[in-house]
Amino acid sequence: MGARAALVSSDAQLVRRCLAGEEAAWEEIVRQYSRRIYNLAYRFTGNRAAAEDLTQEVFLRLYRTLEQYDPREGDLANWLMRVARNLIIDDYRRRARTPTEAGEDLVDHEYHLRADERGDPHVLVERRELSELIHAALAKLSPELRTCVILRDLEGLSYQEIAELLCIPEGTVKSRINRGRLELARVLRRMRVI
Amino acid sequence: MMDCRQFEHLISEYLDGTLSEEQAETFVAHLFSCAACRALLDDVQAALELCRGVEEVEPSPDLNERLRYVLRGAAMSCDAFGELIPNYFDGVLTADEYHLFEAHARVCSNCRQALEDVTAVLRLLSEVGPVALPEGLNERLLTAVRSADRDLRRSWLWQLRRRLRAWRLGWSGPPRSLPLPQWAMAVVLCAATFGLVFLNLSGEGGEVSIRPSIARLFDRAAEVRAEGERMVEHLEQWRAQVSAFLRSFRPDRERSEEKRPSP
């Protein structure tokens, strides 16, 4: 309980320093959270450049909404990641409605995949491209299924948290996760990753 | 008894351990009896294991630096940005101001739009060139100038002024503002006074012999004055010519307005 109180107090202090315009405080937030937010953005965009742009968007949103953070409602990390997830999912839904160019990175990976189809698929794994392959497979899911699978199996959120975040019933979340996992397994099988 | 469709529907809940005991038993019974569903469950399990083992993607090394840059831009007020716009176009921003300015333009769509608008206006202004000359204007100008020059050279007044100018170049005597006829009159009057005084002092019985001389002098003065008046008249004519010449420079529009009969 003491540790929790100390965390809340240090969060509140950090936010106060940020709101006072202290550059060092913002640098601390950037250092602590940029990697995590960038990875979340990459999971949804499957493209490094787009993930970086999205990370910048998230930090701008954080900058503009930080005054809404209330330390009594939870720690700063949860609040920050909730803001980040909301923005990244909104962006993803927007892009899903108006499909533009596919992520360049994923296109590259698919190219490698085709080139290596005759060879041993495990070689790909050994090349440490597994993460990219999984992202490429996720990119083939429909937006609803993909969102649920990323949040559940990559971000580790509970069904209830996902239902709250996406504003949909928990039963729908369960159904989408199930369908998403089945679809992901089929895609990975076709890609000879499993 | 469970069919393959029901089995597929419950795979996630089985893997998450949220099936009831009874559902789990039926699920497992089907699993043992159906090779296709067994393979499917294996695939899903493998996919999930892969997902959970996904490594973090490494951001580009300058991501944090870029984020700091963006946040500095967000911290700048739009008013402060507006004040720097003139200096930005004059190229006199300091390096710090320039980076801040660029960062703010990147994160603030309103200011970015304002900057684009000013850029567009400046570009348009720089493209504004001189209007084209009216057709035949150069020829009309040359004709008018030649004609005025010819008239001028014919005039004895011009010849006189040219000589006067040559004379004045050697002596800065009378004020330049003194008009020529008055100057001529003054010379004549001085000469008359001088003659009168000189004759009065040196001649005997001068009164009788001098009077006709004085009268002649005054007559001569009147002639010079009349000549001066003619010169003034000539000047007026010349000025009217010049005015007419200058009127020919006016744009056609004004001329047409002048020609339009008054209501």
Residue ranges per structural domain of chain B: 4-53, 63-125, 159-259
For residue B125, the model assigns a pLDDT of 81
* Any B CB within 8 A of A149 CB: yes
The tokens describing A113, both together, are 């995949």
Residue of A nearest to B46 (CA): A194
Lowest mean pLDDT segment, chosen from B54-68, B155-169, B173-187: B173-187
Tokens in use for A111? Answer: 């190219």
pLDDT at residue B212 greater than cutoff 80: no
- Position A43, amino acid: R
Enumerate the residues of chain B whose CB falls inside 8 A of the CB of residue A182. 8, 11, 40, 44
pLDDT at A124: 47
Chain A positions touching B109 (Cβ under 8 A) are none
**Residue B63 is nearest to which of A52, A63, A188, comparing CB atoms?**
A52
The band of B189, judged by pLDDT with boundaries at 50, 70 and 90, is confident
> What is the overall mean pLDDT for chain B?
80
DSSP H or E run through A176:
helix A170-190
State the smallest CA–CA distance between residue B130 and chain A in angstroms: 46
In degrees, to the nearest 5, what angle opens at C-alpha A66 toward C-alphas A60 and A68?
Answer: 135
pLDDT at B226: 81
User: Are B55 and A134 within 8 A, CB to CB?
Assistant: no
Inspect the interface and report whether the beta carbons of A177 and B47 lie closer than 8 Å: no
pLDDT for residue A163: 95
Instruction: Give the residue from B12, B49, B52, B107 with the most A CB atoms within 10 Å of its CB, the best one to mutate.
Output: B12
Nearest to A153 among B52, B70, B71 (CB): B52
Distance from B91 to chain A by nearest Cα, in Å? Answer: 27
CB pair distance less than 8 Å for A48 and B57: yes
Give me the residue from B40, B60, B71 closest to A63, CB to CB.
B71
Q: State which residue of chain B sits closest to A33, comparing Cα positions.
A: B64
Cα separations in angstroms, A45 against A104, A127, A129: 10, 22, 17
Percentage of chain B beyond pLDDT 70 is 81
**Would you tell me how many other CB atoms lie within 10 Å of the CB of residue B242?**
13
Does pLDDT of B111 surpass 50? yes
Complex ipTM over 0.90: no
Inspect the interface and report whether the beta carbons of A178 and B48 lie closer than 8 Å.
no
Closest partner residue to A60 (CB to CB) among B9, B56, B70 is B70
Residue B58 burial (CB count, 10 A): 12
DSSP 8-state assignment for residue A171? H
Q: At A92, which helix (H) or strand (E)? A: helix A76-97
- Name the token pair of B125: 């202004």
Give me the tens of pLDDT residue by residue for chain A, a chain 194 residues long: 566 667 667 888 999 999 998 889 999 999 999 999 999 999 898 888 999 999 999 999 999 999 999 988 889 999 999 999 999 999 998 887 765 544 445 544 444 444 444 455 555 445 457 788 888 899 899 999 999 999 999 888 999 999 999 999 999 999 999 999 999 999 999 998 88
In 3-state terms chain A splits into helix, strand, coil percentages (rounded to 5) of 80, 0, 20
Predicted pLDDT at B222: 80
Look up residue A45 and give its amino acid. Answer: T
Segment B125-166, tens digit of pLDDT: 887 777 777 788 888 888 888 887 777 777 777 777 777 777
Q: Please say whether the beta carbons of A162 and A86 come within 8 A.
A: no
Query: Measured between beta carbons, which residues in chain A are less than 8 angstroms from residue B64?
Result: 30-31, 34
Residue of A nearest to B48 (CA): A153
B88 pLDDT above the threshold of 70:
yes
| Beta-carbon separation of B55 and A130 below 8 A | yes
- Which distant-in-sequence residues (6+ apart) come within 8 Å of B37 by Cβ? B4, B7, B8, B30, B31
Using CB atoms, pick whichever of A30, A131, A178 lies closest to residue B9: A178
How far is it, in rounded angstroms, from Cα A131 to Cα A128? Answer: 7
